Structure 1
Amino acid sequence: MPLDPPDIRELKAIVDWVNLAQDVRELSIKIGDVELFVSRDGHRNGAAAPAAAAPAPAAAPAAAATPAPAAAPAPAAAPAQISVVDRVESEVFEADMLAANEVLVTAPMIGTFYSSPKPGDPAFVSVGDTVTASTVVGIVEVMKLMNNLEAKVEGTVARILVENEAAVEFGQPLMVITRHG
């Protein structure tokens, strides 16, 4: 059974999570006829050791082991600048574009960004809304797990940089909040 692009993205998200989690030493995943083993020590499979150090190559061998679309490995590339979508137009967003009182809310993990609790519901926040540090501003879904994304600062939503249901990368800018005070 070949892996489709969403499966590959989920595998990459898991490998990235393992890379960030200091207490995980090994991970073994089997989806259909594809098996992925990641080890920080490289004991079971010598080829798996570099995968733990660099999560992007770990997703690529899984894609190469099965007939996947040619575009599937593209998410593994790490762009120098993060492309984001504004609600009005596309642009490249850089952290130095922030004013001194602006805070960038970024994706805590790879997944799918949702601006509302469920389809058809109003968005958690809109441009101009006032938020507290605990205000949920969106959800990032990874492998069917919904992770609330909090503002972490008091302020006003200045810009929303991604569309609802957009695939997001770890560290990708999602919105800008103008800090109060």
Structure 2
Amino acid sequence: MQIPEPVHENAAEPVVLVVMGVSGCGKTTVAALLADRLGWPFEEGDALHPQANIDKMAAGHPLNDDDRWPWLEKVAQWVGERLDRRENGVITCSALKRSYREVINRRGSGVEFVFLAGTQETIAARLASRHGHFMPPELLASQFAALEEPGPDEPGARFDIGPAPADIARNIIDTLGLA
């Protein structure tokens, strides 16, 4: 992933941060902190899943591409609505594959992918202590198997999940020049 040119609050063009990574990497926590600190609208991408997807994952079955396309279209729609309104925003989405990110960033501008990266062992430990989420820890391996880390030609940056969420959010804001 390339380190983007700084995106300033008063820039002419809006930006939508897509906080991405496998389940359990901290997308929701970090994205909520970013949205709060920046004063930007926030959407939990999981809330856009069709009920059939939630039921499938809750039953321990990984999603396939056919399951994901309608959901990714909803994520892309939310992103597009922000950009059409010339608003900044923050949304979570696993965005595991390049093809998924291409759907979300179909305009070719206005999106910055914030990739939260960690080891499978670290994230498995987090998932083991998480309760009340439809995504069971047993599906983590399928997420890592599907993950195509963003390339240097994609907009955004990679952030390690080791630090505290508040520190990760601060690092994102500083790295992307959002302060």
TM-score, shorter chain, exceeding 0.5:
no
Counting helix residues as a fraction of each chain, which structure ranks higher? 2
More contact order relative to length (CA 8 Å, sep ≥ 6) = 2
Greater Rg, structure 1 or structure 2?
1
> Normalization by structure 1: what TM-score?
0.21
> Normalization by structure 2: what TM-score?
0.21
Counting strand residues as a fraction of each chain, which structure ranks higher? 1
